[in-house]
Chains A and B, each alone.
Chain A
Amino acid sequence: MMEVEITINGRKRRFDVEPNRLLLNLVRDDLHLTGTKYGCGIGECGACTVHLDGEAVLACMVLAVDADGRTVETIEGVADVNKLDPVQEAYIEEGAIQCGFCTPGFIMTTKALLAENPDPSEAEIREYLKGNYCRCTGYVNIVRAVQSAARKLGS
């Protein structure tokens, strides 16, 4: 067991973890933040996307001990208590969600995209979201949602 200190969704927390524990399992099983999904486990589907020190990464590829002293944001940290984030609103309004399994990952990646590039083209959106798989929507509405979120955030 090793003691680590990780700031999760704005709160500094201490954990005792085994070195082979994945950040994904710490988040889901210990903190019960189950919005972050386990999809493929090999870095292809993007369902486990979280922000580590502000950058979109895959929680299934990061050891919990490696997050020691760092900041993690999950989908649960995105919205205020009573109000959805504009990106979440846009996904709902544009029908960019069907079964919803991939949505937390998409929203975390979208937030990283819009933080870097507030007005992305369709090609830039598709390229940036390449690492997130959605097997329901066909992506068209997801691209629209990102464009709509960009407008909301820009106005």
Chain B
Amino acid sequence: MTINKVNTHIVPIEFEYHVPGSLDEAVGLLEKYGGEAQILAGGTDLIPQMKQRKAEPKHVINIKGIPGFACIEETPEGVKIGALAKLRAIELSPQIKEKIPLLSEAAGSIGSVQIRNLGTVGGNICTASPSADMATPLLALDATVHIYSRDGAKACSIAEFFQGRGDVNLGRGEFITGFTVPYPPVGAGTAFEKVGWTTFDIATVNVAAVVTLKGGKVDHCSIALGACSPAPVRGVLAEAALIGKEPSAEALEEAVEFIAACVEPRERWRRAPPEYRRRSSKALAMDALTRSIERARRFP
């Protein structure tokens, strides 16, 4: 960002402000105003964008008034996390720390405490940034996205949800109400890794991994790669190369060789050229797998 060319002291655009008290009211507003409306949740993306006139909504819909939307709840299918759950709440939640530590680890890596006290998981996913730090753990864990519209509630897999940069699988009048994150398989080791310009900056590359071992061999393996393709992707070739093998150093080396074939970094992206992203995604996948395997081995 060219800080000095933009007056970040004010929000220079004028808009009408709405605070719907229910899901249906919010959907009605979204349908009515369509592309002229923006949803305000944490505001950590929207407000800087409005300051720079990268977003110029005529209507801002603050959804924080809708009750029951920030829950973190254990269900038989997994942990249900409301779209408005703060990143800080996910980082600190005792249930998530115990059952799905990968999510706490990723949430805690974002920005600063002040940012995490504002930013929400729904916002992190909805901005459809390929570098969203919550996207990789949700993708590695095969989370379900809950979407609400006039036609009622529906659900889709997180993989279907991501279509590409700045584009998520949401139609007019649809919005995310939350996620169900399945519990990782028993005995799973998980890890989240990222690199950025600073520890504070958004990720240049991020990787989440989930591994289980059975009889000394890799039984389940999922690797999700962020900021190195137009949308977060799974390293399917590397996963397949590892499943059924003993996780030796050689087997890991062989598996991460496939990472470069799973990613499609773009030339015009800021922060790093494609080659950097290809090499970092491989290196981070190696780190994440190594750490996941160590953790899985600790399981009795």
Interface on A for B, CB 8 Å cutoff?
A: 2, 18-22, 25, 38, 40-44, 46, 49, 52, 55-58, 60-63, 65-66, 109, 112-113, 128, 130-132
In-complex Cβ contact of A20 among B3, B14, B115 (8 A): B14
Flag if A58 contacts B114 (CB, 8 Å).
Answer: yes
User: With A20-B14, A42-B3, A44-B200 known to touch, is A66 a contact of B62 (CB < 8 Å)?
Assistant: yes
Chain A hits for B60, CB < 8 A: 19, 63
Interface centre among A18, A58, A62, A132 (most CB of B within 10 A): A58
CA of A60 to CA of B288, assembled, Å: 35
Chain A hits for B168, CB < 8 A: none
Q: Would you call B10 an interface residue if the criterion is a C-beta within 8 Å of the partner chain's C-beta atoms?
A: yes
Q: For chain A, what secondary structure do more than half of its interface residues adopt (helix, strand, loop), or is it mixed?
A: mixed
B34-68: which have CB < 8 Å to A? 40, 43-44, 47-48, 50-51, 60, 62, 64
Chain B hits for A46, CB < 8 A: 112, 114
Interface centre among B111, B113, B115, B117 (most CB of A within 10 A): B113
Instruction: Closest B residue to A128 by CB, please name it.
Output: B113
24 pairs from A and B in contact (CB 8 Å cutoff): A2-B17, A19-B14, A20-B14, A20-B50, A22-B11, A25-B9, A38-B9, A41-B8, A41-B48, A42-B1, A42-B3, A42-B51, A43-B111, A43-B115, A55-B88, A57-B118, A58-B114, A58-B115, A60-B8, A62-B118, A63-B47, A66-B40, A109-B114, A131-B112
Instruction: Closest B residue to A41 by CB, please name it.
Output: B8
CB of A71 to closest CB in B, whole Å: 14
Instruction: Closest B residue to A53 by CB, please name it.
Output: B117
Instruction: Closest A residue to B60 by CB, please name it.
Output: A19
CA of A5 to CA of B15, assembled, Å: 20
CA of A44 to CA of B51, assembled, Å: 14
User: With A62-B43, A63-B47, A66-B62 known to touch, is A40 a contact of B3 (CB < 8 Å)?
Assistant: yes
CA of A59 to CA of B56, assembled, Å: 21
Flag if A131 contacts B114 (CB, 8 Å).
Answer: yes
Flag if B117 contacts A56 (CB, 8 Å).
Answer: yes
CA of A57 to CA of B200, assembled, Å: 15
Q: Would you call B240 an interface residue if the criterion is a C-beta within 8 Å of the partner chain's C-beta atoms?
A: no
Q: Would you call B75 an interface residue if the criterion is a C-beta within 8 Å of the partner chain's C-beta atoms?
A: no
CA of A61 to CA of B10, assembled, Å: 10
Flag if A56 contacts B17 (CB, 8 Å).
Answer: no
Flag if A63 contacts B40 (CB, 8 Å).
Answer: yes
CB-defined interface of B82-102 with A at 8 Å, one 1/0 digit per residue? 000000100000000000000
CB of A19 to closest CB in B, whole Å: 4
Interface centre among B17, B88, B112 (most CB of A within 10 A): B112
Flag if A25 contacts B43 (CB, 8 Å).
Answer: no
CA of A40 to CA of B113, assembled, Å: 17
Instruction: Closest A residue to B112 by CB, please name it.
Output: A131
Chain A hits for B248, CB < 8 A: none
